[in-house]
């Protein structure tokens, strides 16, 4: 059975909250800010188009703090696997629960957005 993705695109709020929980201070280097601006304007470097410079930089800052005895959040495992940064096993309950919770949350917000758009189109016709 194919797993549903919880993170189809970068989630900077998730990464910032995760870093906060881990005691990591995220700061954007001026060069990364420029690279992100270029990326958002359609100018891509030699990196994959799926990964934004800001996301890669945040991931580097977060992952560089992980040591052998660091407890890794189940949500981080889901994020790493969904975004293609890792291929970590998801065979224990906390990680499975994290995936299902994140997928349900994403689907809920998508349904709210779809309903909002449909309602807005209906009002426009009146």
Average pLDDT, the chain: 87
- In the structure, what pLDDT confidence band is assigned to residue 70 with cuts at 50, 70 and 90? confident
Question: What would the mean pLDDT of 9-16 be, rounded to a whole number?
Answer: 94
Give DSSP secondary structure letters for the chain: -PPPPS-SS--HHHHHHHHHHHTPPP---HHHHHHHHHHHTT---SS-TTS-HHHHHHHHHHHTT--TTPPPPHHHHHHHHHHTS------SHHHHHHHHHHHHHHHHHHHHHHHHHHHHHHHHH-
pLDDT for residue 118: 85
């Amino acid at each position: 059975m194919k797993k549903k993705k919880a993170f189809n695109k970068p989630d900077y709020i998730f990464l910032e909250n995760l870093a906060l929980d881990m005691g990591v201070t995220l700061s954007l280097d001026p060069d990364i800010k420029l690279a992100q601006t270029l990326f958002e304007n359609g100018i891509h470097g030699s990196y994959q188009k799926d990964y934004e410079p800001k996301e890669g930089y945040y991931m580097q800052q977060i992952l560089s703090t992980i040591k052998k005895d660091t407890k890794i959040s189940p949500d981080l495992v889901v994020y790493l696997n969904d975004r293609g940064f890792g291929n970590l096993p998801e065979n224990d309950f906390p990680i499975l629960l994290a995936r299902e919770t994140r997928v349900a949350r994403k689907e809920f917000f998508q349904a709210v957005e779809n309903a909002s758009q449909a309602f807005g189109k209906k009002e426009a016709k009146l």
